[in-house]
Amino acid sequence: ARNDPAALTQLEHDLTAEDGYYSGKLDTDRRNVLLNQVLGRRDQVERAARDATDRIEAKADRALVEFEQQIATGVMAPVEAMQAWQLDVAGGTEAQRDRFRELLDDEIELREVRKLSPVEQQQYLQGRRAERQASGATARQVANLHRIETLIEGDQRRLRESPLEHDAMLKGTTVQPLNVQALANGNAEAVRLQLAERMTTLTRMRRQYGPQVGNAPLLQQEAAALSAVLGQASVRQAAQLFGTLNRAIGDPAMYSAAMQQIAPDSPVRAYAGTIYAQQRAGGPPDAAITSQSRNANFGDVAMYLLKGEALLNPGKGGKATDGKATSFPMPPPQQVEQRIAAEVREAFAGRPQEFDVATQAVRAYYAAKSADEGDVSGQLNAGRLRLAIRAVIGERTRYEGRDVLPPWGMPAGEFRDKAESHVQERLKAAGMRDPGNVALMNVRGRDGAYVLVRGIEPLMDANGMPLVIRVGAPR
């Protein structure tokens, strides 16, 4: 009976009860010695059983915690891990098994919510919050809703900043990294197919999730590596890198997005990279600017920007021919900014950061032009500044009483003609009559994209989304 609690209890009865088997058959001392052994052994067996139960329940608790943590990451657990957790919980209490089933339901709900577009996700959350307010909720339901909210916030951030990695995470795969060294060495062909596949993925994601998906064709580590290369490059080497990247990507919007990734702390270089591609859209990216290039009358604008940036910000790669850092004499920044603001008027309304970048780029072009013309006086040359504004920002125009900037390199007259037809087509596609006085506002971060407005209010379609048009490249 020594390992059987029930048998030990029976033996205690047999030793102590009047009708017990050993009643009257053993003297008191012998009976007490044996009883002491029985009671001690039963205590040991029961304690061991409690310990075993505690270990099993603790193991089940650990499995539940690990499962809950896994759900919080938003990444589906491997099959082997799920099977192990299920086995661990199976030996626990009924309450633990119930909790495991609840977590499975929570994970299924979370996975379904993550399939929705960002707009649908917000609608789902609003509905759940309203239900909670109306009917109350258990602690578990509150915790699950909080988990969904946290994951949706993370998803939307990744959709904007690293959509390729977000897509791979949901599919349980990884993104194959680019051969950054090949790009840096000028070999566009080595990565062209990979980049094309990435752009296909981003296009699919934009159809699924909407415009919240960011244009980020590079992984964060790739952008950091190319940024490091760019930081050590000369003006000409930087231009060659821009050319290689443009050939490899082959899409103006994606190229512009890649430039924003590569040079986030050097916006003038990013600006130069975008213009570099636009001026060479009709021929080989590394070819010289011809009379057929956009804004050809302003010269190689990208190279001017790079030269000017090197003069004004030597810490970002700019060096004189002798290798020493330089400091180029310029008019006071406030004086330059005031002139630019007077030229563009309200065309940068709601886009203060873009106005700041444009101002830096105008100063860079102005510095390069001043250096070419041998002007180191630091005095403002109004004509040269107007030239820099037209070369870098473009020609501001009025459309239905509002200042707006055409796509880079497009004359104002051509823009107004194209914009009018685009506005009418967009209103018709939205099933709306022309309400009159429909003006345009430049869309932040998207050259050639405009939102339709009346006064300061954007026009909305039936789904509550702003009406946007995109005016193409100049003829």
Q: Strand 449-454 relative to strand 457-458: parallel, antiparallel, unpaired?
A: antiparallel
Q: How far apart are CA 338 and CA 348, in angstroms?
A: 14
The answer for residues whose C-beta is within 8 angstroms of residue 209's C-beta and 6 or more apart is 117, 118, 159
The candidate with the shortest Cα–Cα distance to 236, out of 272, 189, 190, 193, is 272
Q: Strand 439-442 relative to strand 402-404: parallel, antiparallel, unpaired?
A: unpaired
452's enclosing H/E stretch is strand 449-454
* pLDDT given at position 217: 92
Query: How far apart, in Å, do the first and last CA atoms of the chain sit?
Result: 99
* pLDDT given at position 318: 45
Q: How far apart are CA 274 and CA 203, in angstroms?
A: 20
Q: How far apart are CA 263 and CA 258, in angstroms?
A: 9
For 453, how many CA atoms within 13 A lie in the half-sphere containing its CB?
Answer: 19
Using CA atoms, how far residue 448 sits from 82, 161, 346, 473, in Å, is 50, 22, 17, 8
- At residue 383, φ and ψ (nearest 5 deg) are -65, -40
Please give the DSSP secondary-structure letter assigned to residue 460: B
Contact status, residue 260 vs residue 270, Cβ threshold 8 Å: yes
* pLDDT given at position 337: 95
* pLDDT given at position 111: 80
Neighbours of 455 (CB within 10 A): 9
Q: How far apart are CA 4 and CA 138, in angstroms?
A: 42
Neighbours of 123 (CB within 10 A): 12
Three-class secondary structure of residue 288 per DSSP: coil
Contact status, residue 427 vs residue 467, Cβ threshold 8 Å: yes
* pLDDT given at position 317: 47
Tokens of 403: 């200042």
Contact status, residue 221 vs residue 175, Cβ threshold 8 Å: no
Tokens of 123: 């609608």
Using CA atoms, how far residue 192 sits from 60, 182, 284, in Å, is 50, 11, 15
Using CA atoms, how far residue 147 sits from 71, 125, 150, 169, 294, in Å, is 8, 11, 5, 17, 51
Q: How far apart are CA 53 and CA 91, in angstroms?
A: 9
* pLDDT given at position 281: 67
Contact status, residue 450 vs residue 441, Cβ threshold 8 Å: yes
* pLDDT given at position 316: 54
How far from chain centre, in Å, is Cα 118?
13
Please give the DSSP secondary-structure letter assigned to residue 21: T
Three-class secondary structure of residue 282 per DSSP: coil
The answer for residues whose C-beta is within 8 angstroms of residue 135's C-beta and 6 or more apart is none
Burial class (CB in 10 A: 0-12, 13-18, 19+), 432: middle
Q: Is the dihedral of CA 153, 157, 158, 160 positive or negative?
A: positive
* pLDDT given at position 243: 85
451's enclosing H/E stretch is strand 449-454
Let me know the angle formed at the C-alpha of 287 by 281 and 290, rounded to the nearest 5 degrees.
Answer: 70
User: Which DSSP string do the residues of 354-421 spell out, in sequence order?
Assistant: HHHHHHHHHHHHHHHHHHHTT--S----HHHHHHHHHHHT---EEETTEEE-PSTT--HHHHHHHHHH
β-strand partners of 457:
454
Instruction: Please list the pLDDT of the chain residue by residue as tens digits (475 residues).
Output: 888 888 888 888 888 888 888 887 888 888 888 888 888 888 877 787 777 787 888 888 898 888 888 877 766 677 788 888 888 999 888 988 988 888 888 888 888 887 787 888 888 888 888 888 888 877 777 877 888 888 888 888 888 888 999 888 878 788 999 998 888 888 888 999 999 999 999 999 888 887 788 888 999 899 999 888 888 888 888 888 888 888 888 887 788 889 888 887 788 988 898 888 888 865 555 667 888 888 889 999 999 999 999 999 876 544 444 444 457 999 999 999 999 999 999 999 888 989 999 999 999 999 999 999 999 999 999 999 999 999 999 989 999 989 999 999 999 999 999 999 999 999 999 999 988 899 999 988 788 899 999 988 899 988 888 999 999 877 5
* pLDDT given at position 282: 57
* pLDDT given at position 323: 42
Contact status, residue 222 vs residue 178, Cβ threshold 8 Å: yes
